[in-house]
Amino acid sequence: MEVHVYYEGDDDPKKCTARRLERFGQATLHRSMRAVPYGVVLNPHAERALSPADADEGFGTLVALDCSWESAEAASFSMRGVHRALPFLVAANPVNYGRPFRLTTAEALAGALAIFGRLEDAQALLEPFRWGETFLTLNEEPLRRYSECADSSAVVSVQADYLAEE
């Protein structure tokens, strides 16, 4: 599966997981929205949750948005592709450790790959990060359960179990 990132360069380059993914050959960064290929767009404002059924929707392409939270909504909706929101997952990165829905670009992409049943790809994508394995361990059960769902509504039902516990 091809991994692409629309990159605005809003954050500290030393902490940017998208730039590190590019450096390790795990993702292609695009500075122009028009250059980003059609695919499944990870969009926190999308109306439908990502599910394994979406793996074929993007023609083998997964797209993430790497920009400030303030500009994320406007930027994500102008991107071509099938927009899906990630379900409940907990961050393992040092800045947001343990906080739900506060994932880095690398965590979001790895979570999507795991939901698509591509756990080995998710592990490889997170290899450049010392906390990468921790992300998969923290989210092992929800990722497994999401990957077993037939569609978005089933993912939302599983997510409800986790949100009820919060």
pLDDT tens profile 27-79: 999 998 889 999 999 998 899 999 999 998 878 999 998 875 555 555 556 78
> Residue 72 has what pLDDT?
57
Do residues 155 and 85 lie in contact, with contact meaning Cβ atoms separated by under 8 Å?
no
Give percent above pLDDT 90 in the chain: 72
> Residue 77 has what pLDDT?
60
Side-chain-side CA neighbours of residue 30 (13 Å):
15
Q: Which residue has the tokens 């795990």?
A: 26
Tokens linked to 97? 């450790």
Do residues 64 and 50 lie in contact, with contact meaning Cβ atoms separated by under 8 Å?
no
Q: What φ, ψ does residue 24 adopt, rounded to 5°?
A: -95, 10
> Residue 58 has what pLDDT?
78
> Residue 158 has what pLDDT?
95
Whether the pTM exceeds 0.85: the reply is yes
What's the total number of domains in the chain? 1
If DSSP codes are grouped into helix, strand and coil, which group holds residue 124?
helix
> Residue 89 has what pLDDT?
97
Residue 131 has pLDDT above 90, yes or no: yes
> Residue 73 has what pLDDT?
59
C-alpha 51/C-alpha 89 separation (Å) is 14
C-alpha 28/C-alpha 64 separation (Å) is 10
CA angle 163, 58, 32 (to 5 degrees): 95
Do residues 111 and 103 lie in contact, with contact meaning Cβ atoms separated by under 8 Å?
yes
> Residue 69 has what pLDDT?
54
Domain of residue 57, residue span: 2-165
The arithmetic mean of pLDDT across residues 11-31, rounded, is: 89
C-alpha 83/C-alpha 57 separation (Å) is 10
